Structure formats: C-alpha cells, structure tokens
Amino acid sequence: MGEQQTQSLWDHTLTFFPQFLAAVEERAASGATIANRGASDGGFVVPLAAVGYRVIAVERDPLALHGGSVHLPGDENAHTTGLIDRLKLQALHDRVQFVEEDFLQAEPLGVLCDAVWTSCSWHNSANRHSPLAEFVTRTQEMVRPGGLFGAEFMMPVTQRHYLIEHYTSPEKLRRHLIGDWDVLLTLRTNEFTERAYVGQLRDHTHRMGLLLAAHTPSSSLYQEKKDS
C-alpha cells in the first residue's frame, strides 16, 4: 500500500474553474451559496469553501466522499482521503452541505443557488443513460434569477465521440439552455495530452469546452414571481 493521498486526485488536470470563480466573485455576494454537481473528492468544493462561500456538494460516489483505496498510474495503490475528511482537516466542514445521491434522482434542493458548477460529469459512461438535455435542465433549475451556470465538458476527439451527444461543444450546449439565459463566456481547447489519472491509467488526448451563463429572466416576470 502506498502513501495516503490527501490532495484531490484531480489537482493536476486541466480546468476552466478559475474563469468560473472569477465570474462568481464579480457577480455574487460574499457568503453566496454555490452548488457543485458531481463534486467528486472536492477539487472545487474545498477552494469555494475556503474563500467563504456556502457550498452544496452533490456526489453519489462513496469513495470520493469517504475515501478508500485507489489504483494510481504507475501501478501503485494508495489510500485517498475523501472530501468529508479533507474538509474537516481544513476546518471547512461546516460550510458544506452534502447531497449523497444520484443527481438526476435526488429531490430538489429546496433552495435556489447563486451559482452552480459542474465539471466533466455527464460524459462519463455511468451517466450516458440519460439525455444531455436532462442534465442541463436539472442543473438550470438549481440557479436563482441573476445566478450563474458554469459547465466544463469533454469535446469529441475520436469518431466514436462524435456519435455520443454527451461529448458536446459550446454551440450545441447553449441550445439546451431553455428560458432566459445570457451566455457570458465560451472557451475551448485544441487537442492536448493529459497525464494519466485514476480511472485512466495512461496518458490520453482531450479537448475541453467551457460555457458560463447568467440566469436573466425578464424584469417584469421576475417581479411578478417575487410578488406572488
């Protein structure tokens, strides 16, 4: 058994999260509520909580939440610290609410969030049984008027990927934003080689995209809802 892994297993992977965080800091109040759908072991939850946001972590994987043995590149095994214990070690546990359920099967949160972030989740094979539109719609429904929707996602590389709708693009994804949404930013990478990680034990080629949007219902409709 190797050493204990206390950092996120995804710390070295490419992410557009800094762009999302900058948009949140510009638009949301201090102490805002941010949901991370597909929170994994907390690569985004921990930094959000550390700067003072209230975080709702939606994750169904017991290993990601509670830790356990993982097989690492280089044919090594390690015990990884789960998100819950990582938060406790940094005295951030009280800032995070956990939803330990399948996102598409869980009951509504009962609160609208100031921003929602999801990273490379819907393209995973375990989630491809549900249409991409369902993932996007359920995520949209978590965002309050004036709030932010942020998603980074895998774009197609091989011919096989082009046949799977979950490998999408910023242009295709924005078509799923039903209702009053203002797309603030789209980004994409060229093909790049990413180092091996848990679940993908060899170096591999990716393309990634980002879409940031703001929920901007018409002022009259929004006022009617507030008054009702």
Instruction: Name the pairing type of β-strands 208-215 and 143-154.
Output: antiparallel
pLDDT digits (tens, 9 = 90+) for 17-69: 999 999 999 999 989 999 999 999 899 999 999 999 999 999 999 999 999 88
Return the structure tokens found at 224. Answer: 């009617």
Q: What tokens does 8 get?
A: 């996120």
Residues 6+ away with beta carbon under 8 Å from 35: 55, 56, 57, 58, 109, 113, 115, 116, 117, 142
Percentages helix, strand, coil for the chain, rounded to the nearest 5?
25, 30, 45
Q: pLDDT digit string (tens) for 114-133? A: 999 999 988 876 777 889 99
Residue for token digits 């201090």?
A: 30
Tell me the three state secondary structure of residue 124: coil
Domain parsing of the chain, residue ranges: 4-227
Q: Indicate whether 72 pLDDT > 80.
A: no
CA 20/CA 179 separation, integer angstroms: 21
- Separation in Å, CA 100 to CA 83, 125, 126, 189, 201: 12, 19, 16, 32, 27
For the chain, give the mean pLDDT. 87
The CATH number of 4-227 is which of 3.40.50.150, 3.90.79.10, 3.20.20.150, 3.40.30.10?
A: 3.40.50.150
pTM above 0.95, yes or no: no
**146 φ, ψ (degrees, to nearest 5):** 90, -10
**Interval 102-115: pLDDT, tens:** 888 877 788 899 99
Residue 188 vs residues 122, 132, 167, 191: alpha-carbon distances, Å: 17, 19, 13, 10
